[in-house]
Structure 1
């Protein structure tokens, strides 16, 4: 039986993970759950999955959780704070850690997970975007398995040759990675009207149920830009060997093109439980509660190139990957500030890319040599992006 720690348990990835885990009590036991401040949701998860440890973002939320679980049988040890999240990972028995905390806040716990030699189910894309080379080197030192949970990267992982390692593309006959994207809710909307987009419209994804921040990233295609960076790093591919392809049905989750002319694809209904189940059970396949794909009902599959004018965030991310060093960290930090500004009503949807571009122009990229340097770059980018927000860029 494998011990599972879920970082970000009350989010969409966390809940999907626990749904799959709950279907296989003979294989998995929950060791720890962490959450932000959703006390009621965390209390429900603790009652159902009985973790040994539960961590909340602050002491107020932790106190609320303790009160709700007082007198319960097998109540967990309830801790609080960012350091407690990292400690929960560091103290966990070697097993599975699901890294699903949204944003750069998930970086340190994810680093602790790879350092501890766990199987790390990576759903926090910012960890790779901000500190990819450092994270991958730490995973190598710690003997960790790093398995992607994003549906696209998990699909690529499934389509690559068995035992593939980063940097083996040429030797293993891998030509290209084709990274699919839904195009989000505004794929066909008149670009001249995008300045009127509301947060509610941006968060109404046509295929996936996601949190608000990642939904906005999908609408701008920054989400795909971050995934572009991830794919290059995870699989050791040059940026020119990774193409983003819009596929509105979200059924083909990604493809790998080979030297012999073959193109392998992974298909399935758009449900995050499929890649989560694959990563939890690999090399075994686990029941995930997902309906099989009905090709007859689907009838057709469409593919198109993304429009750079409609999705400038995608081009900014691709350029940051090519520049390297601290550029991806600066990009990610500026995007988080800009998206927060859009969601709170202080920034127009079409100005998200402008804030990111202006921030990158003020902060030239440097070689990334340490986690501390990257965190300083992250903090500086947030300061500059916030200044641009105040100035109404």
Structure 2
């Protein structure tokens, strides 16, 4: 039995704690916040094996340049000389190739399918009711260009063994008869699922604490001591934490924590927004992706969560209401009867998705510090990939054969 310290209590950190505690290790999780509203709480709650195309893809460069001149656009990179953006941007450009997309498909598929299976297993555990619903996701499109792109994606998905189908408008209406549609059609990502993220996080926290996992809130890492090829201590102010092994799972704060160890973890925070509205009629039963608008809509807990945008910039607390307005205005273009109100500032949730420049997460043991495992950089798929990452972290820690090949995810790549 080893003593393990996990830095970060988002879905990745808590999933790692879950599988490590099942192996009998003594686990402590520390987080700089109170763990009530991190990125794992406010996301769209989607489990997405369909997302086997990384953010770094050829079309994103051209599209991203166009979007930079639109204040309501779903994707924006704020130009800056510091904060790691130049290095991130150069690598993003280098990786935005068809070859990279092709090489990433199988690793991302395998990671996602493992995670979906583990979510299904978790939902069978006593007390783990977090609204897991396996009716897929509908990706709606309004233009011929998007229809062609989605059809190509669906064809590739089927080749990868994923269950997806191109639907006509009539077939879409048959699936959700209470929703009025103004679309050309949709692809049904039948391989996908969704859940209620708040309930999942609350349930995980309660379970872990009952199992004796020590969850330490409101303790920000201020210093990390290393000796040779090992971490020797982690400081949170005046408190000193020592363990046999360590996990870095601090989301968008991972680069700052890594620098305290003399490591470079290349990530940029991608700010996303979401808000909730009551939906007593429960007209939407299957989550939706609005292809051109890049908006996600998920029914959860008697409400609908609307989310979107990806602002690549330094961590900041500013809410760009123009981007929230962009989400609001896009919805009735696809669903004329769904007309969300522009939320007031206090009702807008935002979080930072830790985005690697090649669109793949970092999962693996550090090449420089041998008692450190890195688990970060999952971008928009943090919740979706949480259980799989947690299981892999536990297997890496104990020298077991990993459930899937992790070569594509190694931090040293």
Q: Which structure shows the bigger proportion of residues in helix conformation?
A: 1
Give the shorter-chain TM-score range.
Answer: under 0.3
TM-score of the superposed pair, with normalisation by structure 2: 0.27
What's the TM-score once normalised by structure 1's chain length?
0.28
- Which protein has greater RCO, CA pairs closer than 8 Å, 6+ apart? 2
